[in-house]
Structure 1
Amino acid sequence: MITALSPTDLVLQFMKLMEALDYDAGLKLVSDSCEYTNPPPLGTVRGPAGIRAVLEPFFAPTRENDFQILRAAASGPVVLLERLDRHLFGDKWVELPVTGVYEVHDGKITYWRDYFDAATIMSQLPAA
């Protein structure tokens, strides 16, 4: 008998796949109508293709990613993750504190919103 993942376990699995930049496997856990929102200027996109269009260019120059889950909480289908997202650009680690809100229905992420201070990461990025 196959048991469905809990919303928290599904989101944690998703984050592990995204940390490894395994877009094909990770985005299978996202519904076609998923709404993904980041702070301005990034805004909101929808579905796996929209998420990939935002994340792939950002992560392209990273050599490694390390998503540290500091705290997780859930209430029914809603999952909250407090994270420290670490990205290796060249030989420099860039760290960004993030709080993510996810909603899971029928085994897929249907809502994902990340809260962070964009200036925090922009001030750490290497010069282009």
Structure 2
Amino acid sequence: MSADTPLAIAQSFLKAMEPLDYDTALKLVAPDCTYINPPPIGAVTGPAGIRAVLEPFFAPTLENEFRILRAAVSGDVVCLERLDRHKLADKWVELPVTGIFEIHDGLITYWRDYFDAATILNQWPRG
């Protein structure tokens, strides 16, 4: 598989996010990328918007793992069924997620994650 295929780019993005390497991960994101999460999180735009959502959310994590269970690709669209695992100080939290990525010219231009927000918020530290 070529390193610049849509699937490889989506996988590289998630791999960089496991150790929370925002700088590396966000180099794979277009300046006008739309990132959408279920309510109450909602939508943001661009690398700065994505970082503003993810950085505070992942602050309590000691380790992350994004297990790709299934992948489907159609042209520039990548669908990834994942099990997102987050190690907190006292436990692992797991969240089933389906993510849709659109990749154009080697950059993620659209990212939408589907998950049950209550599943993660009920397990997450209150801050």
TM range (shorter): over 0.9
* Deviations, residues 8-44 of structure 1 (Å, cap 9, x unaligned): 0010000000111000010000000000000001100
What residue in structure 1 maps to residue 112 of structure 2? 113
What residue in structure 2 maps to residue 83 of structure 1? 82
What residue in structure 1 maps to residue 35 of structure 2? 36
**1:123: how far off?**
1.6
Q: Runs of at least 4 residues of structure 1 off by over 4 A?
A: none
**For residues 101 and 41 of structure 1, what CA distance do their matches in structure 2 show?**
19
**For residues 123 and 3 of structure 2, what CA distance do their matches in structure 1 show?**
39
| SS in structure 2 at match of 1:62 | coil
Structure 2 unaligned spans of 5+ = none
Structure 1 residues 86 and 76, CA gap change in structure 2 (3 angstroms): same
Whether the aligned pair in 2 keeps the contact of 1:4 and 1:107 (CA below 8 Å) is: no
* Deviations, residues 88-123 of structure 1 (Å, cap 9, x unaligned): 110200110000000000000000000000000112
Structure 1 residues 96 and 9, CA gap change in structure 2 (3 angstroms): same
* Percent identity for Structure 1 against Structure 2: 68
The AA in structure 1 aligned to 2:38 is P
| SS in structure 2 at match of 1:15 | helix
Aligned length: 126
Does residue 67 of the first structure (1) align with residue 66 of the second (2)?
yes
Structure 1 unaligned spans of 5+ = none
| SS in structure 2 at match of 1:87 | strand
The AA in structure 2 aligned to 1:81 is L
What residue in structure 1 maps to residue 102 of structure 2? 103
The AA in structure 2 aligned to 1:93 is W
Q: TM-score, normalised by structure 1?
A: 0.95
Whether the aligned pair in 1 keeps the contact of 2:60 and 2:125 (CA below 8 Å) is: no
What residue in structure 2 maps to residue 7 of structure 1? 6
The AA in structure 1 aligned to 2:111 is W
| SS in structure 2 at match of 1:71 | strand
* Deviations, residues 56-111 of structure 1 (Å, cap 9, x unaligned): 00111101001111001100000000000010110200110000000000000000
